[in-house]
Amino acid sequence: MFSFFFSGKTANPNDISESSPSITSTTTTTTKTSSNSAPPRKREKVTLKPGFGLRQWSMLQMKMPSPNVASLGSIPIGEVAKHDTVEDAWIILRERVYDISKFLDHHPGGVEILKQVLGKDCTELFDEYHSFVNSDFLLEKCFLGYVKRN
Ligand code: HEM
């Protein structure tokens, strides 16, 4: 149903829980993950607050304004680090900076696990858990600009 949340990359079949039919249906493509990459981390089922989840996030995002990509500047890494609370939550993912404050409660993995990456680059952890998730799409309206590392 929400196959657009997931990129064409194939998740590790061992990583697909029986209770996640949406994932199962998106894992038929056969992009092989590199053999020297670490196996995906085991993901526990997290219960979200009522009224939160990817469907609700999708509806909320539709109402959010689109960032004016042409006018976005680059953001010093030190600036990102200042936004490390759940009320003001920025992250770096694939060199892009996102304000995920509104997304936190909708994250299927829960808020708690994301607290460790607020204000930081979460690319490595993101890929360890779910490199197949289409973050460009999911966080489209949260995009603030590209990170400036020096
Ligand atoms: C900020 C960008 C992130 C986005 C857009 C995102 C998105 C998602 C999505 C779409 C799922 C559902 C995947 C599925 O059904 O299998 C998910 C699950 C999960 N994510 Fe994330 N994630 C992000 C960051 C992270 C990070 C940094 C971590 C780890 C530190 C993480 C840990 C998890 C876990 C443990 C689950 C499994 C939840 C479950 O199966 O119930 N995520 N995430």
Average pLDDT in the 132-145 region? 97
Average pLDDT in the 90-117 region? 98
Which ligand 1 atom is at minimum distance from the Cα of 139? 5
Question: CA 40, CA 125: separation in Å to the nearest integer?
Answer: 10
Q: How many CB atoms lie within 10 A of CB 45?
A: 10
Burial of residue 103, with CB atoms counted within 10 A of its CB: 0-12 exposed, 13-18 middle, 19 or more buried: buried
Would the CB of 129 count as within 6 Å of ligand 1?
A: yes
Give this prediction's pTM. Answer: 0.81
Task: Look at ligand 1, atom 23, and give the residue with the nearest C-alpha.
Answer: 126
How many Å lie between the centroid of ligand 1 and the Cα of residue 128? 10
Share of the chain above pLDDT 90, in %: 67
- pLDDT of 25-47, one tens digit each? 333 333 334 445 678 888 788 99
pLDDT of residue 117: 98
pLDDT of residue 11: 52
Share of the chain above pLDDT 70, in %: 78
Which ligand 1 atom is at minimum distance from the Cα of 91? 1
Would the CB of 111 count as within 6 Å of ligand 1?
A: no
Question: What are the strands of the beta sheet with 74-76, ordered from one edge?
Answer: 74-76, 143-148, 96-99, 90-93
- pLDDT of 106-116, one tens digit each? 999 999 999 99
Question: CA 79, CA 75: separation in Å to the nearest integer?
Answer: 7
Task: Look at ligand 1, atom 21, and give the residue with the nearest C-alpha.
Answer: 109
Q: Which of 16, 125, 129, 137 to mutate to test the pocket of ligand 1 (most atoms within 8 A of CB)?
A: 129
